[in-house]
Chain A
């Protein structure tokens, strides 16, 4: 029983990171029709931004908690600014040119990994984090690493904030409408390009949060970490339904728990294959994902 509890809570922690990455990807595709393969670079900017500022800016801060929190905050700012710049400089000139968008974002992702390796080397980097995160909490006999609680709580907070933003603000209204019918939003006199930049920035911040948390989850950050997480985030986006935040949250948990359970109870490594099979089944049975019907006519 304790193993099942451990697998479940660890699965929730992994699902939290998938959700943080997938939420931005989903909104970006839902609103703009852009398959952003460079999203992994946003994760890397967040994780390396946090690591670098922790080592070079906040290295004099005595409290590890504050050092980590302040570094993470700058990492998130870096992620958001980097994502907004990518939208403004690389994506905006290529709207409606989907092949070129894919080429540019794939190229950026590959180039960014190479750049990070070139500057900081291929070796993984460790964060300075509060000791409590490396300790465990006993839940029904299962010793749960404390960082899992932080990952789950952070994803829950991001989910609530995103829902509040989408439902309570004018820009949220524009984004929800734009996911359905971008041309009609423009035909109401709204400059939808501002929403594009905002969605990229939000996606960049959420991915950077995932980058920071992945550093805690895996204990290290490396140049390729963003890429490997991105693959499963794409699967989450498709299963959850393009453009749906709620769908992404549910799909992230399904994918992460499926990986955890099958890797343990079947055979290590088989979880990834089962997730791909799950993707195939969802595409056959419900091609629009769990939250279907969200992405409608798009010009």
Chain B
């Protein structure tokens, strides 16, 4: 981890998750410091998404997950989220049968949801308020998914592959929004696009076969091509 002395916001210790017969997370341990962006990296299927879902309580898990010292593992998902944890899921998971405005209204948690910020970053969503989310393009659905998290004042934001399947122009747009998000809250980001990681992340955690195999400064990690290739390339070194 970075040598910079910052307060730990999220502490994950010895996290285990079984999905059916598969032991997906095998004692994952890491810290997320307050402020900035920590990128969770790894090949496909190593447990990145499962880690985020375990933090949120969307899968059964064992171990310890502490947010500002409070244990989360005994809590249900909605209680964890109400401790100011936001979530932008992989594949967006917008409610396709609801309108854009209804998707946003459903996400309102705070007394004063930040529609001004949402519409400043995504003015298109204001125009498309009455449109069913299922008829939006992938990029527009991603805007809705991020906007739902932006509406509330989160202490921690879990963002899962926000650029997946997007055109290059949209990837840059999403990266710009993530930079803005990072100014407002701490972000734990799962991302395959290393260009985006380089642009916005301060620290990286690398998973392999359900375990943390590397944690440290993002720039230092990305500046070592051999290390990156060994840990993230499809072919095993």
Contact = CB atoms under 8 A, between A and B. Distances in A.
Contacts of B105: 170, 173
A187 B95 contact: no
A94 to B, nearest CB: 16
A187 B97 contact: no
Interface residues of A: mostly helix, strand, loop or mixed? helix
Given A176-B98, A180-B96, A192-B78, A187 B56 contact: yes
B78 A176 contact: no
B58 A173 contact: no
B133 to A, nearest CB: 10
B80 to A, nearest CB: 8
B93 A190 contact: no
Contacts of A188: 81, 87, 106-107, 109, 148
B6 to A, nearest CB: 26
Nearest to A174: B106
Most buried by A among B77, B81, B109, B152: B77
Interface in B141-159: 148, 152
A173 B98 contact: yes
Interface residues of A, number: 23
Given A177-B98, A180-B97, A190 B89 contact: no
B108 to A, nearest CB: 9
A189 B98 contact: no
Contacts of A296: 96
Interface in B37-86: 56, 58, 76-78, 81-82
Given A188-B106, A189-B82, A192-B78, A177 B95 contact: yes
Interface in A33-88: none
A185 interface: yes
A187 B77 contact: yes
Interface string A178-189: 011101111111
A180 B58 CA distance: 16
B217 interface: no
A299 B57 CA distance: 12
Nearest to B109: A189
A189 B78 contact: yes
A187 B98 contact: no
A294 B97 contact: yes
Contacts of B56: 187
B34 interface: no
A191 interface: yes
Nearest to B85: A189
Contacts of A183: 58, 77
B78 A186 contact: yes
B173 interface: no
Given A187-B87, A188-B109, A299-B58, A180 B78 contact: no
Contacts of A177: 95, 98, 102, 106
27 contacts: A170-B105, A173-B105, A176-B95, A176-B98, A177-B95, A177-B102, A177-B106, A180-B96, A180-B97, A180-B98, A181-B93, A184-B89, A185-B106, A186-B76, A187-B77, A187-B87, A188-B81, A188-B87, A188-B107, A189-B81, A189-B82, A189-B152, A191-B78, A192-B78, A293-B97, A294-B97, A296-B96
